[in-house]
Amino acid sequence: AIQYHTEIQVDSLVQGGVDGLLFETYYDLDELLTVIKATRKKYNIPIIAQLTASNTNYLRDGTVINDALEQVIQAGANIVGLNCHHGPHHMKNTFSHIALPSHAYLSCYPNASLLDIENNNFKYSNNATYFGEVAEQLIQEGVRIIGGCCGTTPEHIHHIKTSVQGLKPIKHKKVIPIHKKQESMQHPSSKLNLKERVTRQPTIIVELDTPKHLDTGRFFKNIEALDRANIDAVTLADNSLATVRISNVAAASLIKQKYHIEPLVHITCRDRNLIGLQSHLLGLSLLGINEILAITGDPSKVGHLPGATNVYDVNSKGLTELALRFNEGINTDGDALKRRT
């Protein structure tokens, strides 16, 4: 469907005489690649292709921005870059980690600032002078085309022009690595994990939902019975079917303290933003809970609170990528955790 609709729109635009195409605000890398490839099948027109990143170094699905831009270039884009979601400060930080492409140019269209909500109204900072100052810094990071996205005005464009006037494009730059040096890194226990157990011996895992109330007697009697049966792990859902239950982390912590069963904790992307998910992973590691299952999560409309907010900053794939980075001792910004999860 994406390819079909792309061809219809691109045909109309090219036949109408456009000199180039700008594909922007793509959170989904695969979708952008499909659009570019569909265009390149028929036309050799210049293409500017811009992704939108959920945080400063990674796309929503966990792909490193440098890697994503290289894929966009390989698909056929002439100019690649980022737009929307972030203000000038965060965009500048992002481009400090982006290498100069050998066969394409870089572009950047920041928002006026990070989005704020005041009295139920969307609001952006109007510091156009600062916007222009950062435009000059973006040139030093190798950006060739600079514009404005949400919240920007003619005043912002004026300050961009004033700041970059007379500047020449750079040809070389020193890229700041995303992953900062790991100091005093400690390794977790060498105890056999579930994955290793599954590959070496028959493994029994039982799913048991935590209660919807505070009467936990029956729940822990079931855990006791499973412990006596010598099962390997109990898998604990995270408010499955968007229904409120006792925290699976609290239950997992008690299980580890009192029984020999390994808890396998589900983590849903529905209820926590990217900050909360990282905090959650750190807390699980601190409690010694090392087995997790990344779940995108049922939308709240299927549960008892259909009006509850669905967050979904990342999906299960993005959460898995996040957990893998934590296993290397690094958070989303490349900061050292000083221990691997």
From the centroid of its chain, how far is CA 282?
A: 17
In the numeric block, which tokens belong to residue 237? 């859902």
For residue 98, give both structure tokens.
């982006």
Structure tokens at 223: 């855990």
Residue 71 in contact with residue 44, Cβ under 8 Å?
no
Q: Is position 269 annotated in a ligand binding site?
A: no
Gyration radius of the chain's alpha carbons? 24
- CB of 262 within 8 A of CB of 293? no
Q: Give CA separation, 277 vs 78, 199, 309, 322, 333, in Å.
A: 36, 29, 16, 9, 14
Residue 76 makes CB contacts below 8 A (sequence gap 6+) with 36, 37, 39, 40, 47
C-alpha span between 119 and 148 (Å, rounded): 25
Q: Is 199 exposed, middle or buried (0-12, 13-18, 19+ CB in 10 A)?
A: exposed
C-alpha to C-alpha distance for 261 and 234, rounded to whole angstroms? 7
Binding-site sequence positions for Zn(2+): 84, 149-150
Binding-site sequence positions: 84, 149-150
